[in-house]
Amino acid sequence: MTTHRPGGTRYVAYGGCVALVAMSVAITVGLPAEIRAQVSLSQALTLYGCVAAMMLILHGIGRSYVRVDDREIEVVNGFRRHVLTWDQVLGFSFNEGAPWPTLVTKDDERVMLFGIQGSDDTRKIVEDLVRRIP
């Protein structure tokens, strides 16, 4: 079984989460007490809710992967999971300059492979995937 995860993208996503938390804490602690007293509970909850939503989106980006074995290919893009047997796969598309390859099923469904970034050694990975198609 082989698992492909985006390298730099994961570092940026989780680094962004750390930066958001650090910035939120720094702003909260750094504000003078008289200004903090003017912030209502609903305003604070809205602000921290937005920060939490951004962190959830960044986590979705960071958790993307493509897992391959002899029976199937599992693709997780954000919070959506696709599991396909190799008999369901028609092929792969990876055009010049594309950010990631695309899996094409025999039902003409297209699944982007966010876990394999174009900046990685993508051609070699896609060639390995194509060899697995029966």
pTM: 0.80
pLDDT at res. 72: 96
Q: 7: part of which helix (H) or strand (E)? A: helix 7-30
Tell me the sheet residues that pair with 92.
103
Q: Contact 76/96 with Cβ under 8 angstroms?
A: no
Q: How confident is the model at residue 8 (pLDDT cuts 50, 70, 90)?
A: confident
For residues 50 and 124, which has the higher predicted lDDT (pLDDT)? 50
For 53-106, write each residue's pLDDT tens digit: 999 999 998 999 999 999 999 999 999 999 999 999 999 998 888 889 999 999
